[in-house]
Amino acid sequence: MNEITTEGQSESHASGDCVRPCADGAVVAEGGTKRHEIEAGSPHALAVGGCHGKDDHSNSSPRKPGNFHRSSPAEERAEFLKKEMPYLERYVAGRIVADIGSGNGKVTRIIAECARRVYALDIDPQKLEELKELHSGNKKMFPKLSGAGCLPMRNKSVDVVFSSASFHHFPKGYSAEISRILKDDGVAIILDWKKERAPLSMQLNHRLFSDEELMEIFKGAGFTVLKKKKYKRYYMVVFSK
């Protein structure tokens, strides 16, 4: 039975009309350049405990007692994800995950606590360098540069696709590309800004989707909604292929 719930009441756009099908074993980056898919035994991996292990505070700056601290967007999404991990671990535990738009990995690491392996894909090489520095002891995270267009993964090669506050950057038709790399029983977990709660600059400069719009996009690509959840400025939808 599908779940729809709401919690909390506080408060580089990629162009392109569609995603071209990729040949199995290669990807086509922007400009038409081919590069080979990620190898499972990549030597450039970045260990953490189980699904409910201790938090990794290696990337947190110390705060003086009594100082007011407002959570950053990444911290807020990580908090949201932690709350949902008791549900999500049934799909993530021991599985291979592709995190599209991983940034510096502050949210990715929550998924990595449960997963067998997480491929952290991002278009920004500087963010991936930050990820390597912040999570240098994490042997489950495999950073990989990946631009808009076809993802550097083989057909039906991952169990889970995860995306945190990135879907609004993706080209039109990207749900089909997500479907391509997912196994037949795969799951997509999309966490993004509520359309009306995103920063004004984002509302003006990006193609944001409401949760209902996102669900229609994925249903059009053959996905089924498993769960929808709202939390503060964000929503999350879990889809099955």
Structure tokens at 126: 């500087």
Query: What pLDDT sits at residue 70?
Result: 54
Nearest to 165, CA basis, from 94, 89, 103: 103
The token duo for 202 is 């984002």
Q: What is the pLDDT, as a whole number, of residue 72?
A: 84
Question: For position 171, what pLDDT does the model report?
Answer: 87
pLDDT per residue of the chain (241 residues) written in tens, 0 to 9: 444 444 443 333 333 333 344 444 333 333 343 433 444 444 344 534 456 544 444 444 444 444 434 568 889 999 999 999 999 999 999 999 999 999 999 999 999 999 999 999 999 999 999 999 999 999 999 999 997 678 999 999 999 999 999 998 888 889 999 999 999 999 999 999 888 888 787 777 778 999 999 999 999 999 999 999 999 899 999 999 9
Residue 141: the pLDDT is 96
Q: What is the H or E stretch that residue 202 is in?
A: helix 200-205
Q: What is the pLDDT of residue 95?
A: 98
Residue 14 confidence (pLDDT): 35
**What pLDDT is stored for residue 52 in this prediction?**
55
Q: For residue 74, what pLDDT is reported?
A: 86
Task: Name the nearest CA neighbour of 195 among 230, 227, 240, 221.
Answer: 230
Q: What is the residue extent of each domain of the chain?
A: 79-241
The superfamily in CATH containing domain 79-241 is Vaccinia Virus protein VP39 (3.40.50.150)
pLDDT given at position 110: 95
**pTM for this entry:** 0.73
Q: What is the pLDDT of residue 147?
A: 76
Contacts of 192 (CB under 8 A, 6+ apart): 163, 164, 165, 166, 167, 168, 208, 209, 214, 234, 235, 236
Q: Look at the alpha carbons of 8, 12, 14, 15 in this order and tell me if their dihedral is positive or negative.
A: positive
pLDDT (0 to 100) of residue 176 = 93
